[in-house]
Amino acid sequence: MNVAVIGTGYVGLVAGACLAETGHDVVCVDIDEEKVRKLWDGIIPIYEPGLEEIVKRNVDEKRLSFTTDTAEAVRAASVVFIAVGTPPDEDGSADLKHVLGVARAIGQAMDGEKVVITKSTVPVGTARKVREAIEAETEHRVHVCSNPEFLKEGAAVDDFMKPDRVVVGVDHPVAEAALRELYEPFLRTGNSLLVMDVPSAEITKYAANSMLATRISFMNMISRLCEATGADVDMVRKGVGSDSRIGSSFLFPGVGYGGSCFPKDVKALIRTSRELGVPAEILEAVESVNEVQKRTLLDRVVARFGEDLSGRAFAVWGLAFKPNTDDMREAPSLVTIAGLLERGAKVVAHDPEAGDEARRILGDSIELRDVNYDTLDGAEALIIHTEWLPYRRPNFDQLRDRLRAPIIFDGRNLYAPERMAAMGFEYHSIGRNPVGV
């Protein structure tokens, strides 16, 4: 099948590369000429395990190509994906100007019947607006579908190639047949293709991410109760997660969720609910808990060292909002770092992949090190934000020797408090009693 994917961001590039991997002829479109040149040269703009190899292989085998010419790509394709960004507007709603701009360009380029699929995360009713925008520009027949993505950053290639389900919203048999053909190679192991109406598919994406965000905020709220009562949140998590009706996923306490999906999608679903007069108290609480939780490590550092941190240095391990990505959008580390800098502290940080992104966002306001242990020299304490594998089993002797004092603020509960106490550390974690204080 000939496929055009408009937008080479996180979703578009993964979708285009994985569709090419199963034999489809895919053209990825972007208006950024430099980005397109780099993609032809095999330079990937994001860090995603396995993606670079798939892109290079399919370019070499001539199933995947890149262009800035939207019209040419649309005319050559029978199926067109819209995968451009939908950043949150000031009121929290999804900004659809890029999506609708692409829709108009598709309509202007159409030379025959097309299936157009919204892959971008969009609020309910967007497919109708996309159809109207396309039909205003063409007399050719168009089928507009919703195909929300459920990719986890850091595991996106595996998620696309081996989905636990594929959700499609269609309103015509032609569109359903095209999507079944498109996704058939990914469903050979029996995973589900869930066909539904378009509005249901649009809501499914927001509802799924909001449910996961709710579980995270719920457990973070429980972690505060554990700290107030002396309970151990790890024991509580195991007790709750062992219930088959609940399960253990997304019940790990931490410093809050971030990234490109959860914060934006929760805000957008709140906004949509308000516009329709539907109360969204649970989601409003989820968002409120998360904003407070992002300050957890900063508040503990301030409680330990005081409001004035002038002349003090702090080591930070982990800048990305989660491991196996370089994405720092809405990352809790940014809240901690901003608070430290405002109080006069020096920040020396390490992240295995997010260094370039940190330089783009933070400039020279912090120092970055290529080796995580090199952040420790002279630091008052180590602050951990991201559970990268190299941080899980560090050389504790180096930590103890190179820090000014053996103090760790762990936002991901990587270590056992009893062990930390036995090794002489002052150790603060989430939902567990501090030790060595």
The residues facing 4 across adjacent strands are 27, 80
Question: How far apart are the C-alpha atoms of 294 and 291, rounded to whole Å?
Answer: 5
Known catalytic residue at 18? no
| Amino acid identity, position 428 | H
Provide φ and ψ at 285, rounded to 5°.
-70, -40
Residue 267 has which token pair? 């805000």
**Residues 110, 73: contact at Cβ < 8 Å?**
no
Residue 178 has which token pair? 């095209």
Question: How far apart are the C-alpha atoms of 27 and 217, rounded to whole Å?
Answer: 40
Which ranges constitute the DSSP H helices of 276-313?
281-293, 296-305
Which residues fall within 8 angstroms of residue 387, CB to CB, at 6 or more apart?
Answer: 318, 322, 323, 412, 414
> What is the C-alpha R_g of the chain?
24
CA distances from 408 to 193, 298, 368, 399, 405 (A): 46, 12, 19, 9, 9
Residue 91 has which token pair? 């009121």
Tell me how many degrees the CA angle 268-270-274 measures, rounded to the nearest 5: 115
Of 18, 28, 145, 261, which is the active-site residue? 261
| Amino acid identity, position 319 | L
Task: Write the DSSP assignment of 133-181 as a string of letters.
Answer: HHHTT-SS-EEEEE----PPTTSHHHHHHS-SEEEEE-SSHHHHHHHHH
**Residues 227, 431: contact at Cβ < 8 Å?**
yes
The residues facing 6 across adjacent strands are 29, 82
Which residues fall within 8 angstroms of residue 423, CB to CB, at 6 or more apart?
Answer: 396, 400, 406
CA distances from 111 to 76, 171, 328 (A): 9, 22, 41
Residues annotated catalytic, as ranges:
261
